[in-house]
Amino acid sequence: MIALRRESLLGLLPILALLAAWQGTVAGGLVPPALLPPPAAVFGRLGQNLVDPAFLGHAGVTLYRLFAGFLIALAIGVPLGLAGARIRALGAVVRPLVRVLAPVPKIALYPALILSLGFDDASKIVLVVADALFPILLATFAGAASVEPKLVWSARAAGTSAAATLWKVVLPATLPAILTGSRIALVIACIVVFLAEMITSTDGLGYLLVRATRTFQIVDMFVPLLAISGIGLLLNGALALARRHLLRGFPEEG
């Protein structure tokens, strides 16, 4: 526990160094303040915005799209990964599809999504789903395929049907892999929702950045970036907590 706290304190150092470099760049006159405002100005504005209902509304919209997309990706990726890994016929269908679709840059689908689903939430959520799905699906698939057979046998001998072992044994045994995939998916979801809002939107953090750019509000340009970074940090922390609770019985990883 103490070691853990020391580690997270150490983890603060590079972030402080980054802020110091930022401050140094501005103070040293390397970049005109009109292009790069000092950190104090940005954090000050962020602080003001955090009590501004309009800004919080935009952040809320972004969070909604992010969560909706992530949860849908989870709801598709986990069952598909489990079943694909354990049911041979389904695996034969899913595997080639994943191989072909996983490397496609999903953002390239965005114009088509806008045309078919409109500018609002739906197209952005679908884009998040498309991008968050593959890390979850691939991790679940790999995890479920390598579940120790004796765990499944132990359950089968105890009377569990072959089908029921999928959620009674394979799912919990795959939980470490699913959570690892989810962690990657969450980071990707943060990036993608922001990008989608930058490309075309009337709300959300990505939209705030574009609006600030159009009106040369340099400080306001950096605030949404800090906000999405903070959201990513919080979500990652929440997931780490969930992981510690859910995997409390599993051997520690190296």
Q: Give the contact letters, 162-201, x = binds to another protein (CB under 8 A), - = no.
A: x------x--xx-x--------------------------
- Is the CB of residue 78 less than 8 Å from the CB of residue 227? no
Q: Where do runs of H (alpha helix) occur along the chain?
A: 2-27, 39-49, 53-86, 88-101, 110-117, 121-145, 149-157, 165, 171-199, 205-214, 218-246
- Is the CB of residue 197 less than 8 Å from the CB of residue 205? yes
Q: How many residues does the chain have?
A: 254
Of 105, 249, 253, 254, the one binding another protein by CB under 8 A: 249
Residues in CB range of 238: below 8 A, 6 or more apart: none
CA atoms of 120 and 116, how far apart (whole Å): 11
Q: With CB under 8 A as the contact rule, which of the stretches 125-133, 187-195, 198-206, 245-253 interacts with another protein?
A: 245-253
Q: Is 160 in the site for another protein (CB under 8 A)?
A: yes
Q: Is 155 helix (H, G, I), strand (E, B) or coil?
A: helix
Of 53, 248, 253, 254, the one binding another protein by CB under 8 A: 248
Helix axes 171-199, 121-145, angle to 10 degrees: 150
Q: Which of 144, 140, 126, 124 is nearest to 77 (CA)?
A: 140
Q: How far is the CB of 147 from another protein (least distance, A)?
A: 11
Q: Is 87 in the site for another protein (CB under 8 A)?
A: no
Q: How far is the CB of 74 from another protein (least distance, A)?
A: 18
Residues in CB range of 135: below 8 A, 6 or more apart: 181, 182, 184, 185, 188
Q: With CB under 8 A as the contact rule, which of the stretches 20-28, 153-161, 190-198, 208-216 interacts with another protein?
A: 153-161
**Which residue, 5 or 245, is less far from another protein as judged by CB?**
245
Tokens representing 107 are 């953002």
Q: How far is the CB of 92 from another protein (least distance, A)?
A: 19
Q: Is 150 in the site for another protein (CB under 8 A)?
A: yes
**Which residue, 251 or 254, is less far from another protein as judged by CB?**
251
Q: With CB under 8 A as the contact rule, which of the stretches 53-61, 69-77, 131-139, 144-152 interacts with another protein?
A: 144-152
First-to-last alpha carbon distance for the chain, in angstroms, is 16
Q: Give the contact letters, 195-234, x = binds to another protein (CB under 8 A), - = no.
A: ----------------------------------------
CA atoms of 130 and 174, how far apart (whole Å): 22
Of 14, 32, 105, 251, the one binding another protein by CB under 8 A: 251
Q: Is 29 in the site for another protein (CB under 8 A)?
A: no
Q: How far is the CB of 15 from another protein (least distance, A)?
A: 34
Q: Which residues bind another protein (CB under 8 A)?
A: 148-151, 153-160, 162, 169, 172-173, 175, 247-251
